[in-house]
């Protein structure tokens, strides 16, 4: 009898979806676009004028208390967004991480040495899914096995506007396929380092990005691709003075926003949230099971 019970538990665990909401139908996203700006503090987000990001927030759920992971620096935090795990699991503990420079081994890794990312999860579980990664800070792509990315585009010297067009072209080309796009810029973080966080130049960098985000969203609307898309606006850390890496709330809390089908409208997220929840939420929206070592969860109150 005991063996039968154990067998039943194993079957339930291995066959169950990521999360089951009682009485709810599991969502099935058509596409998810992550609009990622580096170094956006809550204070910076609140001071800057960004009407296009505001429209996304008005049509979805916004958190102004999302906690990131330690250390509050770039590579560990973006890796946490995209792997549903903290540095304790994925082993990316600093900006100098490479496959050849590992201080803390990941708790699991594939045959090439990479920790499982959301791109791997999607490629293995969503038929015909298309994935893309657009960035302008060189080390950002290092923690991910690029075999699970259909398109990768790197721009030098803080360039990012061209990638917005490339991302849109990729989305339009694959409009009939499930799609996940990571669309990132580091220029906002560099403005903070060069001029100080909350300086006029830092605020201007956010406002400049919002203009191009608005153009990108307009292209999506013109081609009829907007309404059936989930958008997420995410960041990795804030800053104090001209740096970051500490544990102050200014460095450790970032905005986090999601909008799209099945998502509540004009809602402020009150429940605790963490950047490791980003990948878990994407996996859930594509109706995927998450890897066992992931620690991220889905903030349930974001759904209608």
* pLDDT above 80 (res 197): yes
Residue 256 has pLDDT above 80, yes or no: yes
Q: CATH classification of 25-302 is 3.40.50.1100, yes or no?
A: no
Q: Is the per-residue pLDDT at 19 higher than 50?
A: no
Q: Is the pLDDT of residue 21 over 60?
A: no
Per the prediction, the chain carries an average pLDDT of: 92
**What pLDDT is stored for residue 29 in this prediction?**
79
Cβ-based neighbours of 61, under 8 Å, separated by 6 or more: 257, 258, 259, 263, 264, 267, 268, 269, 301, 302
| pLDDT tens by residue, 56-94 | 999 999 999 999 999 999 999 999 999 999 999 999 999
Asked if the model's pLDDT at residue 41 lies above 70, the reply is yes
Backbone angles phi, psi at 229, to 5 degrees: -110, 140
**Sheet with 60-67, edge to edge strand ranges:** 151-154, 130-135, 179-185, 31-37, 229-234, 253-259, 60-67, 267-268
pLDDT tens digit sequence for 98-141: 999 999 999 999 999 999 999 999 999 999 999 999 999 999 99
Domain ranges of the chain: 25-302
Which pLDDT score, from 0 to 100, does residue 5 have?
Answer: 39
């Amino acid at each position: 009898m005991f063996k039968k019970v154990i067998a039943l538990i194993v079957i339930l665990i291995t066959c169950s979806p990521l999360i089951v909401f009682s009485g709810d139908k599991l969502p099935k996203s058509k596409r998810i676009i992550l609009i990622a700006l580096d170094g956006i503090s809550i204070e910076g987000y609140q001071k800057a004028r960004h009407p296009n990001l505001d429209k996304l927030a008005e049509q979805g759920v916004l958190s102004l208390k999302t906690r990131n992971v330690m250390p509050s620096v770039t590579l560990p935090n973006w890796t946490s967004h995209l792997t549903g795990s903290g540095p304790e699991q994925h082993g990316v503990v600093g900006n100098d991480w490479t496959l050849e420079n590992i201080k803390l081994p990941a708790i699991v890794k594939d045959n090439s040495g990479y920790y499982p990312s959301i791109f791997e999860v999607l490629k293995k579980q969503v038929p015909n899914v298309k994935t893309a990664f657009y960035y302008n800070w060189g080390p950002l792509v290092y923690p991910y096995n690029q075999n699970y990315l259909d398109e990768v585009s790197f721009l030098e010297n803080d360039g990012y506007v061209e990638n917005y067009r490339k991302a849109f072209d990729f989305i339009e080309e694959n409009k009939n396929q499930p799609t996940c796009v990571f669309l990132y810029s580091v220029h906002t973080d560099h403005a903070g380092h060069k001029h100080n966080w909350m300086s006029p130049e830092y605020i201007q960098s956010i406002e400049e990005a919002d203009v191009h985000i608005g153009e990108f969203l307009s292209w999506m609307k013109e081609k009829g691709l907007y309404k059936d898309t989930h958008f997420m606006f995410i960041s990795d850390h804030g800053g104090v003075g001209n740096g970051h890496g500490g544990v102050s709330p200014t460095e450790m809390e970032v905005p986090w926003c999601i909008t799209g089908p099945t998502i509540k409208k004009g809602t402020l997220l009150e429940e605790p949230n963490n950047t490791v929840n980003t990948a878990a939420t994407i996996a859930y929206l594509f109706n995927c099971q998450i890897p066992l070592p992931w620690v991220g969860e889905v903030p349930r109150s974001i759904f209608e």
